[in-house]
Structure 1
Amino acid sequence: MATGAILAVLATSACARANPSVVAYVGSDGRVTQSELDTAVSGISQTLQPGQSVQESAVVNALIHGEIAQQVAAANNITITDADRDKLLKGSNLAPLLNIPDAKAVAYDVADAQLVPAKVGSDAYLKAVQSTPVELNPRYGQLNPEDRTIVDGSTGSLSTPAPAAGG
């Protein structure tokens, strides 16, 4: 009888963080929500050319790595300003995202994932990424344990050409 009770507790505790509205839990208290993902995808979609579509896994990767970068920055007392982010993104292929409020956050996440390693050093940052626990909602795939990116064969680009009509 006691074994059954213990198994029931273990089963429910394993599901405690299995909230369908959470795309990923990052670190001890960070999370990427479905709402954040939907907002980012909608915003990025506004910047695409006809025939392009948003690569959702790349957006999830950017949001996860933005959260990791923010946690590493906080742990190292590093401040990254919007001006720092804007300067990095100016002239890049992500610059158009800065003009769309719903896309700006994901552009800033990408910037943070570049700015923070420059401040702490790439080796220290990679170690921090590898030691940050990330629980990805299984409906988005699996994470590579080395770099905490979704294993799906995508390029990492936020957009891809849409499938050809009729095929």
Structure 2
Amino acid sequence: MDPHHHRASIHPGDRLIVDPDQVLANVAMAMERLDLDTSTPVSIEEDGASLDELVALVEHLDQGPTLTAHTLNTAARVMNARYPEELVHRPLPQGCDLRRLFHVDIDEHSQSIARAVFNQRLAQHADVRSTEVAMDLDGTTPQQRIEVFMAVFFLYGTKVGALRNRTGIR
């Protein structure tokens, strides 16, 4: 794989080779782009990580906690750099339901975990470690771990949109 290309995986024949670090970099880049322009369409699948890459990371490489921790820490880093601390650290309300807002197919348990870890991360100043997230994901299936990651990504987009609307920062 070309280290100077944003591609995170290749399909030689019937195999899939994934560069986990590039997947994480692509997710961070998509999150930064979303912060710069919330009207720009950002797709997890096209701009962050394909479903095959997510399955490889979460199911085959057991990197679900790492993926979610990275996404939480990137969200905090991006928001803290642009928006007032008191607004960034304010938790998302319990009624923030991604299924109603975006019509995404995420089960209630996955959404609850995502909202809890998102709010926990925003309440603290230090990065969350993947071992901490692993405890929150304990007992979840690989599909639920992918859903938690996706929910965190969507919660980030929701929070950034609210912050931009509240502050007028463009």
TM-score w.r.t. the length of structure 2 is 0.28
> More helix by proportion, 1 or 2?
2
Choose between structure 1 and 2 for higher RCO, CA contacts under 8 A separated by at least 6 residues. 1
